[in-house]
Structure formats: structure tokens, C-alpha cells
């Protein structure tokens, strides 16, 4: 890794929940401006890795560095965006699309979080980019799953984050939303943002991520996507576990 500090660097990271080891001595470096796919079955530690990167869990061993500094520093500066799956959030929650996107900017706003013109402009621009400008006033539950996913992506855009952690952004997403999300993510990488995209869906991966890491509590393989996604590696990633219920 030459040039600027990596956007995300985990060194020997071990995370435990009680007796359960979720991550074991994980080494992973994602360079600034790269898009890295994080591939693994459910329960392989993808979410835990994200949680460690934003300081929601503390590793029992190892270090996590974000954008050349501590996790805490990056968190306080709002440099990292976590984009959850749309279904993780309450779809009946009484807020509209623009409200949710504005939440991406609360750390940039005053104590009362009163939006200034610049905040409203950023929200409008983010919604424009994900193609939802005409749905800004819609309650969030009255959107398709793919549209809700785009709202959460727009929130990360409004946040002006430099590192985006995306949790299964294509799960349960219609084709139109998938194309919109992919286009925006490619633009972000072109602008120098760093992406880490967790997925168990391999069809989208090569088109979006130049690099990939296979995770199964440990990093099983890491490198250029084409080299990592070998049948042998995939068998190790997906085959070691008993088959999951869908």
C-alpha cells in the first residue's frame, strides 16, 4: 500500500461476543479510493467487521485505523457512513424521505439541527443523484425496498463521508434501483471515496469492486476480485458452513 494512508486498516483484529468469536485475527487493508467487496455467508463476521470500523464494538485484540487516524476521530468527524439494509429500519416510522436524508448531516448542523440552506441543498442534490428527487415528501414506508435502499445511500451522500460501509446493498432490490445504486457507487469511487461492500451475492461484485476479501471469521483470501473469486476460495468461504435456511 503506497501513497496516502489506507481508508481502513485492520491489524490482528479479534472480536468476541461473550464466548463467541466473531472475528479472529483479521488483517484487512482497503486503500483510499478503492472499492472492496466483503464476501461471506451470514454469520461470517461481515457486520461485526463494520461494527468494529465504526466503533460500535471494541476488539479484544488488534487495532483498527480509519482514514489514517483512530476510529473515534473518524466517527466524531462523520467521515464514515454506514449504509444499513433498508429492512433493518422501521418502515412505519413517521418521517419522509427528505427527513431521513437530512439526518446524514446532523453532525454538520447546530445543536438544534435546524437545516440551513446549504443543508437543504445537499439533501436535494443527494436525492437527485439517487433519482428520488420527486419522492422527497413521501413517507419512507411508502417506497419499494430498492427505493428505500437509495434513500439510505442518499443519506450517506448528504453526510459527505469519505468511507462508505454498505451492508448488502443489493439484497431485495429491484433492477432499476440496483442500476441507480451501482452508478452512484461508481461515481463515488471516481471521486476518491472508499467503499466496502458486504455481500453474499457474487454477480454484482466484479462490476463494482476491483478488490475483494473473503471472510469467514478470518480473511480467507484478499486481492483483485478476479483472482480472489476462484472456485476453490469460494468453496472454502461458502462450503465450510452447514447450508443456511434462506
- Please give the residue ranges that form the binding site for another protein (CB under 8 A): 54-56, 75-78, 80-82, 84, 89-90, 92-96, 99-100, 103-104, 106-107, 112-113, 139, 141-142, 155, 159
Q: In terms of CB distance, is 84 or 223 closer to another protein? A: 84
Per DSSP bridges, beta strands 80-83 and 163-167 are: parallel
Separation of alpha carbons 120 and 115, rounded Å: 6
Q: CB under 8 Å to 23, separation ≥6 — which residues? A: 13, 14, 15, 45, 48, 49, 52, 59, 217, 218
Q: In the block, which residue shows the cell 489506507?
A: 6
Least Å from the CB of residue 117 to another protein: 17
Q: In terms of CB distance, is 54 or 210 closer to another protein? A: 54
Q: In terms of CB distance, is 156 or 220 closer to another protein? A: 156
Q: In terms of CB distance, is 76 or 226 closer to another protein? A: 76
Query: Helix, strand, or coil here: 28?
Result: strand
Give the cell for residue 122.
Answer: 445537499
Least Å from the CB of residue 142 to another protein: 5
- Comparing C-alpha atoms, which of 150, 157, 237, 166 is closest to residue 199? 166
Least Å from the CB of residue 155 to another protein: 7
Q: In terms of CB distance, is 58 or 142 closer to another protein? A: 142
Q: In terms of CB distance, is 84 or 206 closer to another protein? A: 84
Asked if 15 contacts 47 with a C-beta cutoff of 8 angstroms, the reply is no
Q: In the block, which residue shows the cell 479510493?
A: 33
Least Å from the CB of residue 34 to another protein: 20
Least Å from the CB of residue 51 to another protein: 9
Least Å from the CB of residue 154 to another protein: 13
Separation of alpha carbons 55 and 72, rounded Å: 7
Amino acid at each position: 500500500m503506497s501513497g496516502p494512508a489506507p481508508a481502513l486498516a485492520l491489524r490482528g483484529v479479534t472480536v468476541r461476543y461473550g464466548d463467541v468469536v466473531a472475528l479472529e485475527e483479521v488483517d484487512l487493508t482497503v486503500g483510499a479510493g478503492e472499492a472492496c467487496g466483503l464476501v461471506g455467508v451470514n454469520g461470517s463476521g461481515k457486520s461485526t467487521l463494520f461494527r468494529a470500523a465504526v466503533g460500535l464494538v471494541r476488539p479484544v485484540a488488534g487495532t483498527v485505523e480509519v482514514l489514517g487516524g483512530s476510529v473515534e476521530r473518524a466517527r466524531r468527524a462523520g467521515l464514515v457512513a454506514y449504509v444499513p439494509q433498508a429492512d433493518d429500519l422501521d418502515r412505519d416510522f413517521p418521517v419522509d424521505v427528505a427527513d431521513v436524508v437530512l439526518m446524514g448531516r446532523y453532525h454538520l448542523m447546530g445543536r438544534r439541527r435546524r437545516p440551513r440552506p446549504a443543508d437543504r441543498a445537499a439533501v436535494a442534490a443527494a436525492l437527485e443523484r439517487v433519482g428520488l428527487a420527486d419522492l422527497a415528501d413521501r413517507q419512507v414506508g411508502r417506497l419499494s425496498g430498492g427505493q428505500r435502499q437509495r434513500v439510505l445511500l442518499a443519506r450517506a451522500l448528504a453526510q459527505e463521508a469519505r468511507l462508505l460501509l454498505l451492508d448488502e446493498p443489493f439484497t431485495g432490490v429491484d433492477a432499476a434501483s440496483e442500476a441507480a445504486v451501482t452508478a452512484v457507487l461508481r461515481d463515488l469511487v471516481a471521486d476518491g471515496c472508499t467503499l466496502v461492500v458486504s455481500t453474499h451475492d457474487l454477480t454484482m461484485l466484479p462490476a463494482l469492486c476491483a478488490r475483494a476479501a473473503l471472510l469467514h471469521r478470518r480473511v480467507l483470501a484478499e486481492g483483485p476480485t478476479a483472482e480472489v473469486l476462484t472456485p476453490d476460495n469460494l468453496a472454502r468461504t461458502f462450503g465450510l458452513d452447514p447450508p443456511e435456511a434462506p
